[in-house]
């Protein structure tokens, strides 16, 4: 199964059988069973050569690969082609299994590796058409220079692959070859480009929220849904940018310095007009903003969609989430502090993207150095790369440093489509589908053919579920809606399905010299839309919000829109191409007077029509700013004390475990009268607690258990089954149309949602929900029925008391009755799972390839964001996937760490050698200059023509 796939496939038998074969083969390879024939020598056969000399076809000169004791390579070449050819070669040495799985995933070809169990996933990915879009980007959008680099990289990968198969590539490839004679194909430039589609998919914004709101409407009123999606608290949690205005077709930040020219033209949004999407950002759910409001009964039509959207949600859960679960808690931190407030006198820049934990980590540390920077060799850059893609994604060069966090812009919309045999309805006319056929090859079985149907709103993703053929037969809709026929289909409009130039942006940023060059390169970073933070060696700091952000007609993207009405289409487009916010009008900041910039997935800027407000809507589903405001507060506290911030201070901030929700609720919990002595003894743990979630803290363990039970009682049990975690069952009253004495009957109803996306997940949206509700001690949300010999609750404190009791007995079952043995880390554990073969199967297979567990501190919406889903338990579901701190005064004094290690080979010394340090918050020295790199070098490999 692909890494981090969030739910098992409904077709498991074929995959299970295949995995059993793979497990047996791996057992042999590891030296179990048949004596010494399958010894560790076979496992080590794929370990890369790190010293001596190797010939690489296509090189025009020598390339040195200098690895430190952690296997982190620094590459030195004399021209760009050689540099990227060597990068491809070295990536393949360490991570080819990861690369091979990833390209099969992005092209919808996992079934070719793993059999029939992946057909559903492949069919969905073929419907999205990532590979076709990547091909179009390569053919029509990318610069000649970028294409040259991509080809050189592919040539390097293929040079490594030549003459190798099975055990020469990896343990996993050896198992795959022996079980099905699998042989890897040659690498292509489009394989690299397609990776950006997977990155964009996992960072796609509010699509899950859009589905969840629609599903909620079957059980909750609009007012209740509004309470669960409160507006962003601009009065309490700072936006990234203080404010600005559009002046002469360009964004002008408030209070910052002029940033200079960013190049010619207005980017992707050229010709769409300035200010043409005046903000309609109102409180969530405001009348008239839902997509269905004008054409059908929004409540009724959404209820009728329940079956469709439930199936869609289940399908989405099966799609591999390489970067992480797409939930309300996922995010990243980055911040930069001006030299005015640092001990070095120059900026310090920190970044820690929060992504799904996997083994190996999604990141690969590397340096790409030209021995002499010139027109023939333009790069001197180091940082975090993606295996399978050339260039450095996050890091620094000799002049600038940059980091990224997810902007979270609303770049996806679901459209309901009225489907007829001959096409789909659009403005009262039937329009024929655009169709294509896809053939899915299946290892060990016959191929399967599917037909992909596309409307002018995008591909019909509802075609990929067997349940969706007859949905909507009972959907109540108004007379103004089109006839439902056999039900509404669902199409996806997504910016990443339009060809773009994000790959150009990677190389442009890698060689930028100043903020103007950085912004010019960022214009092409269209998807996924990221917050880009900046610093340079001259002392400047900055921020840029790039991205392809759609301008909508009617509707605000919060609910599925009526695809049959053209006024809900994205604005400004011709021939189906959408209009986007002009890049010159996207927010940025440069040397703000406050002396620092923080991005942690909070609101970028406040939208509206007043002074200092932004005239476009980027999204209404921001993160709620718990992490970002904590970082702001930590920086400001240091500044107010006239302190100077050091690299170690930045590291300490990255490991901050303070819980905002604990600070709010703990004083209330401490005042509740508790008669049960066991519960009272647990309550005492909270007395004097400082709200930090250290791994050895018993108070943190108990509070988080109380928080989880508060959420379950007040919200979880009131959610529709489609949002509750799979297997969570409860008795509910079902209305009946029978006799008066049978108006209601009790039925057993079980949740259906995957553990990573079930609600309430406990992210900072729920912090905000509860913050608002605690003021109303008699809110209906605090009312619960009697259950399990516990009385009903009618008030906040009664529910809190019940949650404290439930938490006490939950922890007794999990950690034992003796509270002295309790700790947050024992509940909050991280296990690193090897891609594909290590994510599913018997315990032996997990023991063979996976590592852990580690007891972690931190938690949901803390700066040290080790995320967990409160609906499913306390296990870690996403993490700071790496941490870095760049010292712009002396780049060789920068620091970094990866979640795992450089190697993707199980049993290699660098397989997970950084994880213990990562868990403790430690950082490695980050050598950059030639002298520092030479000093750190443990092994040197010379690549020759």
Reported as a single tens digit per residue, the pLDDT across 121-139 is 899 999 999 999 999 999 9
8 Å CB contact between 525 and 458: no
Distance CA(836)–CA(117), nearest Å, equals: 12
What integer pLDDT is reported at residue 766 of this predicted model? 97
Specify the 3-state DSSP secondary structure of 405: strand
8 Å CB contact between 440 and 119: yes
More confident residue, 106 or 612: 106
The neighbour count for residue 373, using CB atoms within 10 Å, is 14
What integer pLDDT is reported at residue 611 of this predicted model? 81
Pairing of strands 73-77, 363-370: parallel
Helix residue ranges, H only, 479-616:
502-510, 515-522
Given pLDDT bands bounded at 50, 70 and 90, which one contains residue 311?
A: low
8 Å CB contact between 918 and 655: no
Distance CA(819)–CA(811), nearest Å, equals: 9
What integer pLDDT is reported at residue 876 of this predicted model? 95
What's the pLDDT tens digit per position in 291-303? 333 333 333 344 4
**Does the structure show a pLDDT above 50 at 451?**
yes
Cα–Cα nearest to 883, from 860, 864, 862: 864
The neighbour count for residue 345, using CB atoms within 10 Å, is 13
- Longest Cα–Cα distance in the chain: 89
Given pLDDT bands bounded at 50, 70 and 90, which one contains residue 842?
A: very low
Distance CA(128)–CA(117), nearest Å, equals: 19
Given pLDDT bands bounded at 50, 70 and 90, which one contains residue 843?
A: low
What integer pLDDT is reported at residue 840 of this predicted model? 57
Instruction: Work out the mean pLDDT of the chain and round it to a whole number.
Output: 85
What integer pLDDT is reported at residue 36 of this predicted model? 39
SS (H, E, C) 756-773: CCCCCCCCHHHHHHHHHH
8 Å CB contact between 584 and 250: yes
Distance CA(135)–CA(456), nearest Å, equals: 20
Distance CA(99)–CA(198), nearest Å, equals: 13
**Does the structure show a pLDDT above 50 at 784?**
yes
Cα–Cα nearest to 564, from 292, 753, 825: 292
**Does the structure show a pLDDT above 90 at 17?**
no
* Mean pLDDT of the region 367-392: 98
% of residues, the chain, pLDDT over 90: 66
What integer pLDDT is reported at residue 872 of this predicted model? 93
Given pLDDT bands bounded at 50, 70 and 90, which one contains residue 87?
A: very high
What integer pLDDT is reported at residue 444 of this predicted model? 87
Phi-psi map region of 267: left, alpha, beta (phi>0 left; psi -120 to 50 alpha): left
Cα–Cα nearest to 448, from 461, 459, 437, 458: 437
What's the pLDDT tens digit per position in 566-615? 999 988 644 444 589 999 999 999 999 999 999 999 999 999 888 888 99
What integer pLDDT is reported at residue 306 of this predicted model? 61
What integer pLDDT is reported at residue 22 of this predicted model? 53
Q: Taking CA 33 as the corner, what is the angle to CA 32 and CA 39, rounded to the nearest 5 degrees?
A: 50
φ, ψ of residue 107 in degrees (nearest 5): -100, 5
Highest mean pLDDT among 310-314, 737-741, 874-878: 874-878
Distances in Å between the Cα of 377 and the Cα atoms of 76, 80, 95, 149, 511 are: 10, 5, 26, 12, 10
Given pLDDT bands bounded at 50, 70 and 90, which one contains residue 432?
A: very high
Cα–Cα nearest to 96, from 145, 166, 143: 166
Pairing of strands 530-536, 488-494: unpaired
**Does the structure show a pLDDT above 80 at 845?**
no
């Amino acid at each position: 199964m692909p890494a981090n796939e969030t739910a098992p496939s409904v077709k498991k038998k074929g995959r299970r059988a295949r995995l059993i074969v793979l497990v047996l083969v791996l057992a042999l390879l590891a030296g179990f069973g048949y004596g010494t024939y399958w010894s560790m020598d076979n496992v080590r056969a794929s370990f890369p050569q790190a010293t001596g000399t190797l010939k690489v076809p296509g090189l025009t000169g020598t390339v040195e690969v200098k690895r430190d004791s952690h296997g982190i390579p620094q590459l030195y070449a004399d021209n760009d082609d050689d540099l990227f050819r060597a990068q491809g070669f070295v990536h393949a040495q360490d991570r080819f299994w990861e690369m091979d799985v990833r390209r099969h995933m992005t092209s919808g070809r996992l079934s070719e590796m793993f059999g029939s169990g992946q057909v559903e996933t492949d069919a969905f990915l073929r419907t999205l058409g990532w590979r076709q879009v990547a091909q179009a980007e390569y053919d029509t959008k990318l610069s000649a220079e970028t294409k040259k680099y991509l080809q050189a990289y592919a040539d390097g990968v293929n040079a490594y692959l030549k003459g190798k198969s099975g055990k020469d590539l990896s343990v996993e490839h050896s198992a795959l070859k022996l079980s099905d004679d699998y042989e890897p194909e040659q690498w292509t430039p489009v394989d690299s480009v397609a990776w950006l589609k997977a990155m964009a998919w996992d960072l796609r914004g509010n699509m899950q929220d859009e589905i969840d709101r629609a599903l909620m409407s079957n059980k909750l009123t609009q007012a209740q849904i509004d309470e669960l999606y409160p507006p962003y608290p601009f009065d309490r949690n700072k936006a990234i940018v203080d404010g600005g205005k559009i002046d002469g077709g360009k964004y002008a930040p408030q209070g910052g310095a002029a940033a200079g020219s960013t190049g010619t033209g207005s980017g992707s949004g050229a010709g769409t007009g300035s200010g043409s999407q005046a903000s309609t950002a109102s409180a969530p759910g405001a009348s008239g903003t839902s997509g269905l409001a004008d054409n059908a009964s929004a409540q009724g039509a959404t209820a009728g969609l329940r079956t469709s959207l439930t199936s869609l949600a289940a399908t989405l859960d099966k799609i591999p989430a390489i970067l992480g679960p797409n939930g309300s808690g996922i995010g990243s931190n980055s911040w930069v502090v001006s030299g005015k407030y640092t001990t070095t006198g120059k900026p310090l820049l920190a970044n820690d993207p929060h992504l799904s934990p996997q083994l190996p980590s999604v990141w690969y540390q590397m340096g790409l150095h030209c021995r002499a920077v010139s027109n023939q060799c333009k790069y001197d850059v180091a940082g975090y790369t993606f295996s399978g893609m050339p260039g450095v994604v996050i890091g620094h060069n000799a002049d600038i440093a940059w980091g990224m966090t997810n902007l979270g812009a609303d770049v996806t919309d679901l459209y309901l489509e009225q489907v007829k045999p001959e096409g789909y309805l659009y403005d009262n006319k039937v329009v024929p589908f655009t169709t294509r056929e896809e053939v899915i090859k299946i290892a060990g079985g016959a191929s399967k053919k599917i037909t992909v149907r596309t409307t002018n709103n995008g591909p019909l993703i509802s075609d990929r579920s067997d349940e969706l053929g007859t949905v909507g037969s009972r959907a109540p809709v108004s007379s103004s809606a089109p006839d439902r026929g056999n039900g509404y289909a669902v199409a996806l409009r997504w910016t990443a399905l339009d060809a773009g130039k994000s790959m150009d942006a990677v190389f442009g940023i890698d060689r930028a010299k100043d903020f103007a060059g950085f912004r010019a390169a960022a214009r092409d970073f269209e998807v996924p839309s990221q917050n880009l933070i900046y610093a340079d060696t001259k002392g400047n700091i900055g921020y840029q919000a790039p991205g392809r952000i759609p301008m909508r007609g009617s509707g605000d993207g919060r609910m599925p829109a009526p695809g049959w009405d053209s006024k809900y289409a994205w604005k400004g487009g011709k021939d189906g191409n959408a209009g986007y916010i002009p890049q010159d009008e996207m927010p940025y900041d440069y040397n703000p007077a406050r002396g620092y910039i923080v991005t942690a997935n909070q609101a970028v800027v406040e939208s509206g029509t007043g002074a200092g407000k932004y005239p476009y809507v980027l999204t209404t589903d921001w993160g709620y700013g718990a992490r970002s405001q904590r970082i702001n507060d930590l920086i400001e506290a240091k500044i107010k004390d006239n302190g100077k911030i050091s690299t170690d201070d930045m590291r300490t901030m990255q490991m901050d475990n303070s819980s905002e929700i604990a600070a709010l609720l703990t004083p209330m919990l401490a005042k509740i009268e508790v008669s049960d002595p066991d519960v009272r003894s647990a309550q005492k743990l909270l007395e004097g607690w400082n709200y930090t979630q250290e791994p050895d803290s018993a108070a943190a363990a108990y509070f988080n258990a109380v928080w989880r039970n508060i959420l379950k009682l007040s919200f979880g049990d009131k959610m529709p089954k489609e949002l509750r975690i799979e297997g969570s069952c409860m008795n509910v009253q079902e209305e009946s149309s029978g006799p008066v004495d049978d108006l209601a009957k009790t039925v057993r109803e079980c949740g259906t949602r995957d553990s990573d996306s079930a609600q309430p997940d406990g992210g900072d949206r729920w912090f905000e929900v509860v913050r608002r509700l605690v003021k109303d001690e008699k809110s209906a949300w605090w009312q619960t029925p009697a259950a399990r010999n516990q009385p009903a609750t009618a008030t906040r404190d009664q529910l809190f008391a019940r949650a404290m009791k439930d938490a006490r007995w939950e922890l007794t079952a999990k950690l034992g009755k003796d509270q002295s043995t309790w700790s947050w880390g024992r509940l909050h554990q991280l296990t690193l799972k090897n891609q594909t073969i290590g994510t599913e199967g018997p315990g032996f297979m997990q023991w063979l390839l996976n590592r852990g567990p580690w007891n972690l501190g931190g938690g949901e919406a803390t700066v040290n964001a080790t995320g967990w889903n409160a609906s499913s338990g306390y296990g870690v579901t996403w993490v700071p996937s790496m941490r870095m701190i760049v010292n712009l005064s002396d780049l060789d004094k920068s620091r970094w760490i990866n979640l795992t290690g450089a190697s993707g080979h199980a049993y290699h010394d660098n397989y997970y050698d950084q994880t213990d340090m990562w868990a403790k918050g430690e950082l490695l020295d980050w050598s950059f200059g030639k002298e520092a790199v030479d000093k750190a070098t443990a092994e040197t490999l010379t690549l020759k023509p």
